[in-house]
Amino acid sequence: MKILYLHQYFATPESNAGTRSYEMAKRFVKSGHNVTFITSSAFFSENYNFNKGWNIIQLEGIELHVLHLKYSNKDNFMKRIFKFIRFSVSSTIRSLSIKADVVFATSTPLTIAIPGLFYSKLKNKPLVFEVRDLWPELPIASGVIKNRLIIKCATWLEKYTYKNSKRLVGLSPGMCDGIIRHGIAADKVTLATNSCDTDLFDVHKSVGLNYLNSKLNFVAGRKLITYTGTFGLINNVGYIVELAKAADKLDSNLCFVAIGDGMEKKQIISDADKAGVLNKNLYILAAVPKTEIVKLLSAADLSLSLFGSVKEMWHNSANKLFDSLASQTPIAINYGGWQQEFINKHNCGLVLHETDFNKASESISHFLSNQTEYDTAVESCKVLSYDHFSRDIMAARIEKTLMDAIYD
């Protein structure tokens, strides 16, 4: 089949962003399908020198139409909205020149649905829409969107997209439930979580040891706890500052490293400095490509995934969870929902207290000093990553969903 794949934020392992679309597309090509992407330059590495307007490149059998459009996690909301609209209009026009059997649009942002809907209607081809976040529910709940007109338009677009998609894909049980609540039949919704790239992340432990010695020598034999990701409004990365403060008094053998970028990063660095933990037991570093995250997780004893107290956030399917599983690094989270249930059920990490940082740091200290419990978590990570959440398993689910959309 010929797949038109719409994703505004396509990324490869050279980037410091999620690579789900890249990994899925590679597997579709391997299965004999033709894949054409409509995307932006936002998360391509600096190795690509794009011209203004549209650029066409070939990557591992995938054809990519790339709109040169700069993006930063530090952009304010209105600037992001403008870029969403610009990409939506440009990609709608561009996509209509491409022949396909099915159009596969993946959020966020929700506006990626617009070129998908136009293509589906004008070309009479089925639309499969992938929901990576319950948008606009999440930004509304977190207070990012307050304008009533924007809320009304976004809510309408969400419902219209669901109703006019032949199939839908949700990245978590909560997302699938959110789709079904809009009156979509359950048999039209596929659960395909983020997945484990074991080929990339399952490396020999010497990789991590070499990285510790060359890049993280400040760890100095302490237990390494890492956060890798966005320093955004909803991510609650400030939690790690409070965690480091509590751990500084409780266990001097714990060392925290946060790597990434975003609107809140300067404030978090300032807070860590004021708390007296910056460059003591908490180190905040620049964002790095995913290929370097592989080395960092190989070196880490524990990985963190953080969110705030807004329950709508808990439906997410965190890349950090699946990257941790793939690297066989136990994961710790500070929120509820399906991931809390998942960790408790499979004993692949621990759930930290949301507001009591002494309890949270005690949990980490106990977990990392209990070798039996820790080894059980490592083995659980390995089994889950290979047998239940591999890239191949999730790609096969989506491939079947696309085929069903065409032939149903």
Domains defined for the chain, CATH in brackets: 2-195+390-407 (3.40.50.2000), 198-387 (3.40.50.2000)
CB 21 within 8 A of CB 7: yes
CB 153 within 8 A of CB 140: no
pLDDT of residue 313: 75
Q: How far apart, in whole angstroms, are the C-alpha atoms of residue 8 and residue 67?
A: 9
Q: How far apart, in whole angstroms, are the C-alpha atoms of residue 132 and residue 317?
A: 7
Lowest mean pLDDT among 24-38, 90-104, 225-239, 379-393: 225-239
Residue 303 burial class via C-beta count within 10 angstroms: exposed 0-12, middle 13-18, buried 19 and up: buried
Tens of pLDDT, residues 152-180: 888 899 999 999 999 999 999 989 999 99
- Residue 326 vs residues 29, 37, 149, 257, 380: alpha-carbon distances, Å: 23, 27, 42, 20, 11
Model confidence, pTM: 0.89
- Residue 29 — φ and ψ, nearest 5°? -65, -45
Lowest mean pLDDT among 42-56, 82-96, 127-141, 167-181: 127-141
Nearest-CA neighbor of 329 among 374, 378, 293, 268?
A: 378
Q: How far apart, in whole angstroms, are the C-alpha atoms of residue 66 and residue 383?
A: 37
User: What is the CA angle 360-341-130, rounded to 5?
Assistant: 115
pLDDT of residue 140: 67
Peptide bond into 136 cis (omega under 30): yes
pLDDT band at 225 (very low <50, low <70, confident <90, very high): very high
pLDDT of residue 148: 83
CB 206 within 8 A of CB 271: no
Using the 8-state DSSP alphabet, how is residue 313 labeled?
G
* Residue 250 burial (CB count, 10 A): 15
Residues 91, 93, 95, 98, CA torsion sign: negative
Which amino acid does the sequence have at 129? Answer: F
- Residue 195 — φ and ψ, nearest 5°? -135, 175
SS3 226: strand
Mean of all residue pLDDT scores within the chain: 93
CB 253 within 8 A of CB 283: no
Q: Is the pLDDT of residue 385 over 70?
A: yes
pLDDT of residue 18: 86
pLDDT band at 77 (very low <50, low <70, confident <90, very high): low
